[in-house]
Structure 1
């Protein structure tokens, strides 16, 4: 039985499939300076401890995705990306909520993530879903100009 979650704008969230790797790489490259290659997504999609959730329409056109890693009683949001034409429509929130909902059925009790300290929209998203800042990693994210951004480390209990 496939899991499905309702998302805004006629979308739904479902688990990604191996055939989605190329589209995930394309969307990721649009949102990050150093996008991950298709092969990396193919590897994640084949691992049971790295669930990937996609927001898509009825024809499986992908608007965004979230990639989680689970280890023992912890989970980490490795990345979340939304196609530029879908940004501002609460797709990221729907993806994060689906992942958090699914994690309730896992052994994970706490979830972590890193976010660029200058990404105000993402920080609002995470704060709105109960994440709080627990630390920072200076020089974590490379930038096109050769500088590096600080990552805020955030976490929340999963209940």
Structure 2
């Protein structure tokens, strides 16, 4: 197996990202190639990919909302190719997103399916906690989501994984 490398995603990576997204989230309106192209090109987003050689095997995206002096962040998406799950790639990708948000000391928000226990445990290990339940959030499946939050790094001293 080739070593996994990480780099920022560009619009040229959108087809591979959309293919993984379709496989992972087919029941919940997966993002299209065009949606990823738009997200990768936006000035307020940061998307990182995990690659084995030239093959994309995971991705994660973070948006910065509000002014740079007092930002909030939102995890837009995170996904790991099924063949690479259970190898720590989700955590490695999350490390990238949390580090980016911590650089500007902003809180992070996200939504996660209430039945996605591995993801919930991962997020909790970073200090995320459940704010609320959003009934029927994911469509068309109708699955519920937890809204979760991680406080600013300056409020989380000592709680990083």
TM-score range, shorter chain: 0.7 to 0.9
Which residue number in structure 2 is paired with residue 55 of structure 1?
Answer: 50
Which residue number in structure 2 is paired with residue 75 of structure 1?
Answer: 73
Aligned residues: 146
For residue 60 of structure 1, report the CA deviation from its aligned partner.
Answer: 2.8
> Per-residue displacement from partner, 1:63-103 (whole Å, max 9, x unpaired)?
10001111121000011111010011111110001111122
1:23 paired with 2:20, answer: no
Which residue number in structure 1 is paired with residue 84 of structure 2?
Answer: 86
TM-score scaled to structure 1, two decimals?
Answer: 0.86
Q: Which runs of 5+ in 2 are unaligned?
A: 154-161
- Whichever structure has more strand as a proportion of its residues is 1
Q: How far, CA to CA, are the matches of 1:143 and 1:123 in structure 2?
A: 21
DSSP-derived class of the 2:143 partner: strand
1:10 to 3, 17, 20: 3
For residue 143 of structure 1, report the CA deviation from its aligned partner.
Answer: 4.8
Cα contact 1:13–1:94 (8 A) shared by 2? no
Deviating 4+ runs (over 4 angstroms): none
RMSD value over aligned CA atoms?
Answer: 1.4
DSSP-derived class of the 1:124 partner: helix
Q: How far, CA to CA, are the matches of 2:5 and 2:43 in structure 1?
A: 21
1:156 paired with 2:150, answer: yes
For residue 13 of structure 1, report the CA deviation from its aligned partner.
Answer: 2.0
> Per-residue displacement from partner, 1:99-148 (whole Å, max 9, x unpaired)?
11122223x5100000000111111111111111111111101255xxx1
Equivalent residues in 2 for 1:117-132 (5 A)?
A: 117-132=114-129
DSSP-derived class of the 2:103 partner: coil
Cα contact 1:100–1:158 (8 A) shared by 2? no
DSSP-derived class of the 2:43 partner: coil
TM-score scaled to structure 2, two decimals?
Answer: 0.85
